[in-house]
Structure 1
Amino acid sequence: MNEYGHEEVRGLPGRLPPGETLLWQGSPDWRRLARDAFHTYLVAAYFGVLLVWAVIDAVSPGGAASPIGIAATGAVAVAGLGLLYGLAWLSARTTVYSITSKRVVLRFGIALPKCVNLPFAQVGDARLAVNKDGTGDIALAMTAKVLGYAALWPHARPWQLAKPEPMMRALPDVASVAALLADACAKAVPGGRRLAVTEDVADFGPAVAA
């Protein structure tokens, strides 16, 4: 796991060694990333409640809210949401997820790009979450130590602070990516089997046990 100022191969720390092939590359959908990782819907709802409350207070007898205050709240809301959407767009633009025949590679970082290598042999299990629009996330529970939660974020499974799980977030057509990943793991790990996908959770189980 290292940081790279220059990429010889997009999304990878270098050229793949003999016998390893690149199977897939993709990036997060920035709108879904904004919603799920940067919580833009919650922030918008929060400011919406503030604005409604301020308007009600302004039109009520003896209310303390003023048009200037309402306008200022609206301006802060627009600026805050604009910043969050901008960060989500930049994060998606600078993120490349790669699946090879041997590993998963996460390249991310707006200011300081990082490449995180996740060999299949060190993946304990994987979990798939699918949204109604077909986008979704694939979280990988590792048997070896990885970067801390803060260093991985937003490419980490939410709330797994003690033992961070790297996660490919907001993937378009995530089910197809999960199937490809399962097939690659089954071929790379002795005794492996394909990923079993239920309603919204996928588990490698013994297929990728170290």
Structure 2
Amino acid sequence: MSYKDDPDFKFEPVPGLPEALPEGERILWHGRPETTALARSSMGLTWIAGYFVVLSFARVAASSVEMGWAGAAPLAIPFLGLGVVACAIIWGIAWVQARATLYTITTHRVAMRVGAALTLTLNLPFRRIATAQIADAPGGTGTIVFDTEGETRLSYLVLWPHVRPWHMKKVQPALRCIPDARAVAAIFAEAAEIRTSEPQISRAPTAVAAE
């Protein structure tokens, strides 16, 4: 199913954008986070799964002295069951977040439609992006982080998990856990270079006739 046919974006004139594109602007790329990678990278899925495995092993090991390993093994079942439930909940939250997200790169900007409960679209014109960094994420995906210029203040809690982790003082928006991140970064770099090298023409002040 294409984004144009996705019912989650039917209310938008352009999928992922709150309004139609201005004349001369076109979309270069659409994408969203990969669910399992997002759960592992931003929600600690791997750590939580590991915690319950260690907890189960510790419980069995403590009881094996009296019961033997075979007799103590069933004691791990409740802990492993809780771990499966916890991991399923986290994966479900990541799925909802990924489903509600649509990242867009156009010839003029990066747009991020994010938020499962409170939906918002963050527009980042290329001229307001100071730098961009790419980092590998779990599952062969990658994350592109943007450092913005100026005094624009962004909310870490509102944008989470679409931010660089733990950078709360200077919030850095991010395209989290996207497939083919290096190819996407190349698309961004080329479009930003073209856009920022274009001369900007502003309206000249109205001439005042001599009296």
TM range (shorter): 0.7 to 0.9
1:74 aligns with 2:58: no
Residue 198 of structure 1 aligns with which residue? none
Distance 2:89 2:137 in 1: 25
Task: Tell me if structure 2 keeps the 8 A contact 1:135–1:170.
Answer: yes
Residue number among 57, 61, 64 corresponding to 1:56 in the alignment: 61
Residue number among 110, 128, 134 corresponding to 1:128 in the alignment: 134
**Superposition map of 1:53-202 within 5 A:** 53-61=58-66, 70-131=76-137, 134-144=140-150, 145-190=152-197
Larger of the two Rg values belongs to structure: 2
Q: TM-score, normalised by structure 2?
A: 0.81
Residue number among 7, 15, 19 corresponding to 2:20 in the alignment: 15
Task: Tell me if structure 1 keeps the 8 A contact 2:60–2:75.
Answer: no
Task: String of CA shifts for 1:61-104, please: whole Å, max 9, x gaps.
Answer: 299xx888644322321111000011111111111000011110
**Superposition map of 1:40-51 within 5 A:** 40-51=45-56
Task: String of CA shifts for 1:33-79, please: whole Å, max 9, x gaps.
Answer: 1111111101011111000001112222299xx88864432232111
Distance 1:136 1:184 in 2: 19
Q: Which runs of 5+ in 1 are unaligned?
A: 193-210
Task: Tell me if structure 2 keeps the 8 A contact 1:5–1:113.
Answer: no
Q: Give the aligned length.
A: 187
Which residue identity does 1:84 align to in structure 2?
Answer: I
Task: String of CA shifts for 1:165-206, please: whole Å, max 9, x gaps.
Answer: 0000111011100000000101111279xxxxxxxxxxxxxx
Which residue identity does 2:142 align to in structure 1?
Answer: G
Which residue identity does 2:49 align to in structure 1?
Answer: A
The structure with the largest helix share of the pair is 2
- Tell me the SS of whatever aligns to 2:61: helix
Distance 2:21 2:95 in 1: 28
Residue 208 of structure 2 aligns with which residue? none
Distance 1:18 1:117 in 2: 17
State percent identity of aligned pairs.
36
Residue number among 32, 35, 50 corresponding to 1:30 in the alignment: 35
- Tell me the SS of whatever aligns to 1:41: helix
Distance 2:28 2:131 in 1: 20
Distance 1:121 1:182 in 2: 12
- Tell me the SS of whatever aligns to 1:154: coil
